[in-house]
Amino acid sequence: MTIREFAERILLSDRLADKLAPPPPGLLLDPPKKGSYPTPDLPGRPLTLRPRKNHEARTKIPSPEQLGDEEQRSILLHFFCNHELLAVELMALALLKFPDAPDAFRRGLLHTLRDEQEHTRLYLARMAATGTEFGAHSLSRMIWDHIAPMTSPLEYVSRLSLTFEQSNLDYARYYAAAFERVDDRETASLLGTIYKDEIAHVGYGLKWLRRFKQQKESDWDAWHRSLAHPLTPVRAKAPGGVPFNEEGRRRAGLDTEFIQQLQLYQRSRGRTPHLHLFNPNCEAHAAAANQGKSYQADKAARTLEEDLEALMLAMAHPDDVVLMRRPPGSAHLTRLHEAGLPLPEILPLAQVGDLKTRKIGGFRPWAWSPEASELFRPLSDIPTGQSLFPWREALPAEQFSKILTGRAARQLGLTDNESLVFEDFASARAHLHSRLPEEPLLLKSPLACAGRGQFPVTTTTALAQQEDWLHHILNTQGAVVIEPFCPRLLDFSALYDISRSGQVRFLSFTRLLTDARGHYLGTRVAPKIGQIFPKACTVAFHQPLIATGEGHLSGPDFYKKFLLRELPRLLPGYQGPVAIDAFFYQKEAERIRLRPIVEINARCSMGRIAHQLRRLLAPDEVGELTIARRREFSKTLPDGLPLNDPEQAKGFLALWKHHQ
């Protein structure tokens, strides 16, 4: 019998015994020849072992915690057995498709095939011991579909040996320990044997990758290039929850660069990804668009975008894509990974056009300002079905504006939330002159963020300064907001999500950390408000201190009930994250009071980032996100986990720390 005849019997036979019959003694190596072998849609299989169709139900793979149940163990064995049989069939296909490959390659492939036949027989024996027949549960064809279209021996070793067999270095060791924990020592021993064989199989693939690739290419680059969409390096490692097995990969011969690149690499395994973008200058873009102009970011604005865009990693699911102007280095990504932050796929912003060939599940920019809407417009027809985060035109400028605060106060009947809007210089100046003798005032530009665009004035403020500031804001933004200037005790935010259907979900309260001028410094988060509010504010918060059109409400009633009903009315047509900024204040010899709505941020926020970081890294602890300026980290790094790469940061460094 020749190798070709042996391989055809395995590939085409519909008898399991034929597929598992070992190579006979004296098997002849076919002479090398050119030609192509047609790839069947599926290998031959008995009726009971044919993969399920798309519309048929799929058996759920049990978790390690379920393996104490014998039926669940048999389901997992069934799953593994199908993978081994598919490997046997794919190796037979490779022998048939590449008859002109080097003899040593084909002999090594035949040896590996024999190992996979033995693995299949061992799994069959273990299933029989549990009373389970092969075919009793659904079977997947996914591995076949990824590998069968291979067009060269390089593609074969890249797809099977270095992708699916490499992932078994994680699975085999992990599940061997899981079966050991439930006293199934036979299966644990079987998986231990398979683990050792898989190390050799990955080593075989690596040997031939190095033989076939361009010699100037790194192993990683050659392998990555050989994988065809939708197969990506993410399939070469087990998903989250199964530890990454660095030791096994080293034993197989993979180098440090390859292992590190793979450990950090992230791509969707099938869930269509959402796209994330950090566009913190959204208010400036909205202001320019409102005047029919386009915003040109200065150096400081560009530095903010580039330095802090890594914060969006906290908002992304591991299957998502974060677009970045300057992706972090591998060493920094390793630091984040080791700290426990699940990393998504990171794509340079300049390569956003590459996404036109991929399915996109939705769009999640920091804010739906004009530049984000235009960036994603070419991709807007990609999401299929009812996307939870569809593309949209830019939000109306008013939804970025502090003008919204006064309108909300009127709609909600808030009597202690004065925020007046003036569109001409004369009326604004008249208001200042009439009110300043009574109390200090705060002038605000409608479109600004992080405490900027504010000018506190008192009776001692030079008249020329007041008038110059008013002229500038009225000329550039068309309006100015004037509010009473209150002696603040504490700033905080209430975080929400508004769904596509208009359902509002309250998430958390966060404490804003600001400097003496009200500029943002950081955010403190915790499971309970008593951990971030001082006692006096906590007590006041639970009193009916907020006057609304429905009577006096406590803080929890206002933010967790009242606003849940009212937010869709305040932000018609909006979907996404919302942060309501507020503050406690206390005038001399008066009780603590609350200004319940200072700003309505219809976008992501630093508070939302801090909330996500706590949820991911320290759910039961007090956490703090702070933004350090260059002068604070130019010589030594401040305490905490740097979220953006300190080696790249030019002006800002985001830091996270947590404690009990």
Q: Are 644 and 328 in contact (CB under 8 A)?
A: yes
pLDDT in tens, 15-46: 999 999 999 988 888 776 766 799 999 999 99
Share of the chain above pLDDT 70, in %: 98
pLDDT reported for residue 221:
95
Assess whether pLDDT exceeds 70 at residue 141.
yes
Assess whether pLDDT exceeds 80 at residue 149.
yes
Band of pLDDT at residue 128, cut at 50, 70 and 90:
very high
pLDDT reported for residue 241:
82
| Mean pLDDT (the chain, rounded) | 91
The gap from C-alpha 619 to its chain's centroid, in whole angstroms, comes to 18
The CATH number that domain 3-24+69-264 falls under is 1.20.1260.10
Pick from 576, 612, 654, 581: nearest CA to 304 = 654
Options 3.40.640.10, 3.40.50.720, 3.20.20.80, 3.30.1490.20; CATH of 399-485: 3.30.1490.20
Assess whether pLDDT exceeds 60 at residue 383.
no
Q: What is the DSSP letter of 28?
A: B
Assess whether pLDDT exceeds 80 at residue 219.
yes
pLDDT reported for residue 475:
87
pLDDT reported for residue 521:
92
Assess whether pLDDT exceeds 90 at residue 291.
no
Instruction: Output the CA–CA distances (angstroms, integers) from residue 146 to 11, 30, 229, 444, in the order listed.
Output: 17, 27, 9, 58
pLDDT reported for residue 386:
65
Assess whether pLDDT exceeds 90 at residue 519.
no
Q: Mean pLDDT throughout 525-552?
A: 94
Band of pLDDT at residue 353, cut at 50, 70 and 90:
very high
Q: Mean pLDDT throughout 93-99?
A: 95
Assess whether pLDDT exceeds 70 at residue 357.
yes
Distance CA 637, CA 655 (A): 10
pLDDT in tens, 558-571: 999 999 999 999 99
Of residues 531 and 296, which shows the higher confidence score?
531
| Most confident of the following: 181-195, 351-365, 448-462, 634-648 | 181-195
Band of pLDDT at residue 385, cut at 50, 70 and 90:
low
Task: Write down the domain spans for the chain.
Answer: 3-24+69-264, 274-398, 399-485
Q: Mean pLDDT throughout 121-146?
A: 94
- pTM for the model stands at 0.80
pLDDT reported for residue 272:
87
Tokens at 603, concatenated: 């976008």
Tokens at 341, concatenated: 């932050």
pLDDT reported for residue 200:
98
Distance CA 370, CA 397 (A): 9
Any idea what the Cα angle at residue 324 is, between residues 322 and 325, rounded to 5°?
A: 165
Number of other CB atoms surrounding residue 61 within 10 Å: 14
Q: Which residues pair with 274 in a beta bridge?
A: 362
pLDDT reported for residue 449:
60
Of residues 384 and 395, which shows the higher confidence score?
395
Distance CA 570, CA 576 (A): 14
Q: Are 284 and 301 in contact (CB under 8 A)?
A: yes
